[in-house]
Structure 1
Amino acid sequence: MSVPDSYYLMVPRVSYLPLVMEKVRKHFLRSVSSEFQESEMWLEYDGTPLKWHYPIGVLFDMMAQGSSLPWTITAHFSHFPEHELMHCNNRDILESHFISVVKEADGLKHRGHVITNMQSKDHKQLWSGLCNDKFDQFWAINRKLMECSGEDGFRHIPFRFHFSSQPPMQCLIRPVSDDGHKLTLTDLLKEVFSEESIEKDRIIIQGIEPPMDTPLQWLSEHLSHPDNFLHICQVPSPA
């Protein structure tokens, strides 16, 4: 088989790999042997399979921070890593996963009241707006999920900590303390990590290192991904 040309795509960091997989598959399929033509394609970076249910920006921040663009990843059509990746044979699986995570986030923020009161067409509009990069269409629905019912903000902050070598971590944390003090990113890190780990690693959210005194409520409202979770990546500092 001939060696395929590289294939370049510019994709939003808030999107997901399965939304562009079909384009990638069509490009490389002509160079794949007949025995693997019907196989499920999967992607890897530097020897590590890329989890399709994580937003693309989270994968990049977690695994490739500091590398030059374009981000070079490899497509595979054989030897699917069953022990590391879930199967995703169509977009419906991703859509189901996405709505499920949005529901989890709303459960943390509003006890699930907002998403429960939405109709199926609202869920579809939310998903369609994300898939088609339609900002106004997406935010017409997502704005409701980001509303605060009181001065203290959300009931809890939906967040996940991501690491390159272990499963993500999350726990319950409110945006304010019992005495009404606004909790910050530093407070969150102290809640889940030792102080030593705070000092030696970089904390990346949406590709940037926010000030450690940034209020959690502000971070959740402005830097959450479309799934309504604040995805925080802990990466080693450069040597």
Structure 2
Amino acid sequence: MVSLFRQLVWEGTVPIAIKLAPTSLPTSSDRPLDTYFIQAPRISYLPFLIPEIRKNLCDLVLDETSAAALREEDWWFEAENGGVMKWHWPIGLLYDAHLAAASAAESYFPASSSTLTAPMTLLLHLTNPPTDKLLMTPSLETLKSSFMSQSKEADFLRWGSTRRMTGLRKTEQDGLWDGIREHNFDNFWKVASKIFPNPNPLSPSLGSTPPTPNPDGAGGGVTTNDAYAVRSVPLRLFLPDAPAIQDLYPPVTDSGIHITLGDLLTTHLPLLFPNGKGMQSASFPAAYAMVQGIEPPLDAEVGWLGASLAGADGWVNVCVGLRA
């Protein structure tokens, strides 16, 4: 079953409308063609879209001389309602955070966030990137370095060391990246299965003693790779206009009780999620949590989320929004 959820995450897409910023349009441009629509993979990144955007938007809108003079390292994206887009965030996280911010500002979700499929409109600027707000240039080399750093950090949180990541051969590490770049599920998971935990159908029952994490994977037992044997689930909470909340999120308590998403939200956001529920009621909560574009039930176990709904870099990104 876990492979099914991983496949669904991998095949997930989001609608994006790319518009050239008015300041990037010369007076001689064909302005009616200033928008390009893309159905982008959630696990991908904005720099991967640049060749397609250049071919199907910039080269058509701009005159030949202006198009030839473009420097892609100067490109940057901005949300239509404000906010510089981070190159190193997965596209799915950018989309979910964008909708969460829109819901807080405009009561965007009257009933259920899962019913919305509105495109995320981004303004493409072709010059003058805000270097004080962008931590990296949009080069694939820099993006790959950021991805590997995020993957190693996730590896350390899970197992207490980065040995699973650093133990990969260079061809395997390149295979991880190539799997994302080429959007090839089988090639990516051929390597990623050595790093990610798997939910064990025989994982400990409520009240039993959880298995002890083994960062080396020694011993040969399947429980050393169990989602409930990890030291901590790599997970971040994102709220509109606030720094991400990151902590150690073990999948089970010391007494062996499986920790749920609702437990985690109640601990870190008690005003929004008292007793593991939204601010108003379970049937119509004022606060919601979104992972990979869906609202998982608040009784979903954190260990299962880490094994099934994590991004390609190993992180579970939980975006929290408000409803009117």
Query: Is TM (by shorter chain) over 0.5?
Result: yes
Please report the RMSD computed on the Cα atoms of aligned residues, expressed in angstroms. Answer: 2.1
Aligned to 2:58: 28
Cα distance between partner residues in 2 of 1:57 and 1:216: 19
Q: Which amino acid aligns with 2:70?
A: Q
Quick check: 105-114 or 36-45, which moved more?
Answer: 36-45
Is the contact between residue 25 and residue 41 of structure 1 (CA under 8 Å) also seen in structure 2?
no
Aligned to 2:131: 82
Give 1:53 deviation, angstroms: 0.9
Cα distance between partner residues in 2 of 1:47 and 1:163: 16
Cα distance between partner residues in 2 of 1:89 and 1:225: 20
Cα distance between partner residues in 1 of 2:74 and 2:136: 8
Q: Which amino acid aligns with 2:135?
A: M
Quick check: 159-168 or 100-109, which moved more?
Answer: 159-168
Aligned to 2:261: 185
Give 1:88 deviation, angstroms: 1.6
Matches within 5 A, 1:92-107: 92-107=141-156
Which secondary structure does the structure 2 equivalent of 1:160 belong to? strand
- Unpaired segments ≥5 residues, structure 2: 1-27, 101-107, 109-115, 198-222, 274-278, 280-285
Change (3 A) 1:102 1:22: same
Matches within 5 A, 1:150-229: 152-193=228-269, 195-198=270-273, 199=279, 200-229=286-315
Cα distance between partner residues in 2 of 1:191 and 1:48: 29
Q: Which amino acid aligns with 1:99?
A: M
Give 1:12 deviation, angstroms: 0.6
Q: Which amino acid aligns with 1:37?
A: L
Quick check: 156-165 or 128-137, which moved more?
Answer: 156-165
Q: Which amino acid aligns with 1:130?
A: I
Cα distance between partner residues in 2 of 1:126 and 1:150: 19
Is the contact between residue 233 and residue 248 of structure 2 (CA under 8 Å) also seen in structure 1?
yes
Which secondary structure does the structure 2 equivalent of 1:48 belong to? coil
Cα distance between partner residues in 2 of 1:136 and 1:216: 25
- Does 1:136 find its partner at 2:186? yes
Cα distance between partner residues in 2 of 1:13 and 1:154: 25
Match of 1:44 among 62, 65, 78: 78
Which secondary structure does the structure 2 equivalent of 1:11 belong to? strand
Aligned to 1:6: 35
- Unpaired segments ≥5 residues, structure 1: none
Give 1:165 deviation, angstroms: 0.6
Which secondary structure does the structure 1 equivalent of 2:51 belong to? helix
Aligned to 1:54: 89
Give 1:154 deviation, angstroms: 1.3
Give 1:202 deviation, angstroms: 1.3
Higher Cα Rg, which structure: 2
Give 1:75 deviation, angstroms: 0.6
Which secondary structure does the structure 2 equivalent of 1:8 belong to? strand
Cα distance between partner residues in 1 of 2:117 and 2:268: 31
Give 1:34 deviation, angstroms: 4.8
Give 1:163 deviation, angstroms: 2.2
Q: Which amino acid aligns with 1:182?
A: H
Change (3 A) 1:123 1:188: same
Report the TM-score, using the length of structure 1 for normalisation. 0.91
Q: Which amino acid aligns with 1:184?
A: T
Match of 1:72 among 121, 129, 139: 121
Report the TM-score, using the length of structure 2 for normalisation. 0.68
Give 1:141 deviation, angstroms: 0.7
Cα distance between partner residues in 1 of 2:96 and 2:122: 14
Give 1:9 deviation, angstroms: 1.8
